[in-house]
Amino acid sequence: MIRDARNSGHRIFTVGVGSAVTETFLRRLADECSGACELVSPNEEMAQRTHRQFERMYPLRYQGGMTMGMETATLIINQIEWQYQKSNEPTPDRQPSLKKVGIKSMEVKCKNCGHQWSTRKGYKSGDFNLEIGHAVLDCPICSTTHTVTSKELD
Ligand SMILES: [Zn+2]
């Protein structure tokens, strides 16, 4: 079974329930197929554990997704952590879909002075403000004002 699963190229995520679960088998199945294994006993919060497996399978759909690497004239954005909200729009596979509603945080680097920091929405030095169509942030070291358009961020 493990060989078949591996040959199929699928990733296997296992959830074992109950005390008689064959832990070794489930772990091996998940390990060998680059998935993950969750073991729950009947008195544990099963929904939560199962949800964790779904987060591993669909990181972009179930968590605040990440966008990597982009550059503007004055700023390097290494990572954006998006904020998502459940959407009622139907999807072909009937999984709930999430839509981007904003930005939680960004890892940015000022191209003027080389300072690198993690920025969040707010009004303190180094925080970013979201305005219509763009985000604005000041470098806390050299005070360069950086403007990033939504188009660049998306
Ligand atoms: Zn700077």
Position of tokens 């939680």?
Answer: 104
Ligand 1 centre from 138 Cα, in Å? Answer: 8
**pTM to 2 decimals?**
0.52
Distance between start and end Cα atoms, the chain: 41
Q: Work out the pLDDT band at 127, boundaries 50, 70, 90.
A: very high
What was the pLDDT predicted at 85? 83
- Final residue of a structural domain among 12, 30, 57: 57
Is the same domain home to 11 and 81? no
Say how many Å lie between the CA of residue 122 and the centre of ligand 1.
Answer: 18
pLDDT in tens, 36-92: 666 666 665 666 666 666 666 554 443 445 666 788 889 999 888 888 888 777 667
User: Who has greater pLDDT, 84 or 15?
Assistant: 84
73 and 26 housed in the same domain: no
How many separate domains does the chain show? 2
Q: Are residues 12 and 85 in the same domain?
A: no
**What is the distance in A from the centroid of ligand 1 to the CA of 93?**
45
Instruction: Look at residue 64 in the predicted model and tell me its pLDDT.
Output: 47
User: How many angstroms separate the alpha carbon of residue 76 from the centre of ligand 1?
Assistant: 11
